[in-house]
Amino acid sequence: MGVLENKFQDNVVVASMDKLLGWARSTSPWYFQFGLACCAIEMMASAASRHDLERIGMMPRSSPRQADVMIVAGTVTMKMALRVKKLYEQMADPKYVISMGSCATSGGPYWQHGYHVLKGVDLVVPVDVYVPGCPPRPEALIEGLIKLQEKIQTERPLTVKPA
Amino acid sequence: MNIEEIKSAITNKFSGSVIENDELSKNQIEIKGSKWLEVATFMRDNPDLSFDQLECITGVDMGEESNLQSRYNLHSMEYRHKVEIVINHDRKKPEISSVEQVWRIGDWFERETYDMFGISYKGHRDLRRILCPDDWEGWPLRKDYEGQESYHGIVVPKIKEEEEWE
């Protein structure tokens, strides 16, 4: 480090590019604003003034092209599953999915007899974080989102992935 | 009007259209399917009956060896009387005239009953599935309904029935 040591002024940040990118991505993951069932109410409550998702840098976007995170909030029916998949495909990389609540994770109360319900959204899109609950309280969702941020921070976008 | 007066008003106009059935509860009338459209129009237009509101149409599956039924809940805003019309269908070929043009609200009710029970409403101008996707197979609320094994490549995992709890 002899070459670079004590060479920069106070206002210059020195970090590895990988870490910097991870930090930048993780601190403003805008989420895709769509709800499927009662979990959406809790998601809205998380975004509203009491819990205020914007303090961890999350802001709802109404278009998949501007969103980084898809929160699958609610029961995914077979009819909706095709649309969820299509919406996921419209999102720009890097993209993440949170499965919120029992229904999105496994079918929940429709696990056995719900002929019309997809048994877990991970059958159609890859899921990063599962948030349990029926529905999860905003605290649980925020916990899940912070877990996701931790996951994004550990990513090394510039490093070659081991085969 | 009470239920007996409503029943006799229908019988006087269309003899043989009402089927006597002891199993029905006291606000129900069973009507012969082939006469339903005329009876429905009469029930709406007759000034003494004046059934101007169709509250609901639904289907009933009476069991795998038995009939399908359409049920119509009618209400009169003017006289505040109510009646439930029961119509039996042959399970192999469930067909009935549509009352979509008698009561306009019947449009979506009939589409829903068609979607869930596969009862075909003759004369409906736009009889499509309303809740399930257009390419869905089977009639979900029938007793003998079997879920699809896969839908557009999405596999539906087979889930065993849990043993009875003691």
Query: What's the confidence (pLDDT) of residue B162?
Result: 63
Query: What's the confidence (pLDDT) of residue A108?
Result: 86
Query: What's the confidence (pLDDT) of residue B159?
Result: 64
- Asked if the Cβ–Cβ distance from A111 to B159 is below 8 Å, we say yes
Interface of B with A in 93-152 (CB under 8 A): 132-133, 136, 140, 145, 147-148, 151-152
Q: Count CA within 13 A, CB hemisphere, residue B96.
A: 32
| Interface mutation target, options A116, A118, A123, chain B, most CBs of B under 10 Å | A116
A112 touches chain B (CB under 8 A): yes
Q: What is the pTM of this model?
A: 0.81
In angstroms, the separation between the Cα of residue A14 and the nearest Cα of chain B is: 48
Whether residue B124 is predicted with pLDDT greater than 80 in this model: the reply is yes
Query: What's the confidence (pLDDT) of residue B154?
Result: 81
CB-CB contact of A18 with A157 (8 Å): yes
* CA angle, residues A139, A145, A151, in degrees to nearest 5: 140
Q: Which residues in chain B have their CB less than 8 angstroms from residue A115's CB?
A: 140, 145, 147-148
pLDDT, tens digit, for every residue of B14-53? 888 888 888 888 889 999 988 899 999 999 999 988 999 9
Domain ranges of chain B: 3-165
Mean pLDDT of chain B: 88
Q: Which residues in chain A have their CB less than 8 angstroms from residue B157's CB?
A: 119
- Asked if the Cβ–Cβ distance from B151 to A78 is below 8 Å, we say yes
- Asked if the Cβ–Cβ distance from A78 to B157 is below 8 Å, we say no
Q: Which residues in chain A have their CB less than 8 angstroms from residue B161's CB?
A: 112
Whether residue B163 is predicted with pLDDT greater than 60 in this model: the reply is no
B157 touches chain A (CB under 8 A): yes
Query: What's the confidence (pLDDT) of residue B20?
Result: 86
| Nearest chain A residue (CA) to B150 | A78
Determine if the peptide bond prior to A135 is cis (ω within 30°): yes
- Asked if the Cβ–Cβ distance from A78 to B155 is below 8 Å, we say no
Mean per-residue pLDDT pooled into runs of 10, chain A (163 residues): 72 78 88 89 92 90 92 91 92 91 89 85 92 92 93 82 66
Q: Which residues in chain A have their CB less than 8 angstroms from residue B153's CB?
A: none
In angstroms, the separation between the Cα of residue A33 and the nearest Cα of chain B is: 23
Q: Which residues in chain A have their CB less than 8 angstroms from residue B149's CB?
A: none
A86 touches chain B (CB under 8 A): no
- Asked if the Cβ–Cβ distance from A115 to B152 is below 8 Å, we say no
A71 touches chain B (CB under 8 A): no
**What secondary structure, in 3-state letters, does chain A show?**
CCCCCCCCCCCCCCCCHHHHHHHHHHHCCCEECCECCCHHHHHHHHHCCCCCHHHHCCCEECCHHHCCEEEEECCCEHHHHHHHHHHHHHCCCCCEEEEEHHHHHHCHHHCCCCCCECCCHHHCCCCCEEECCCCCCHHHHHHHHHHHHHHHHHCCCCCCCCC
Fold of B3-165: Beta Polymerase; domain 2 (3.30.460)
- Asked if the Cβ–Cβ distance from B154 to A118 is below 8 Å, we say yes
Whether residue B147 is predicted with pLDDT greater than 70 in this model: the reply is yes
B158 touches chain A (CB under 8 A): no
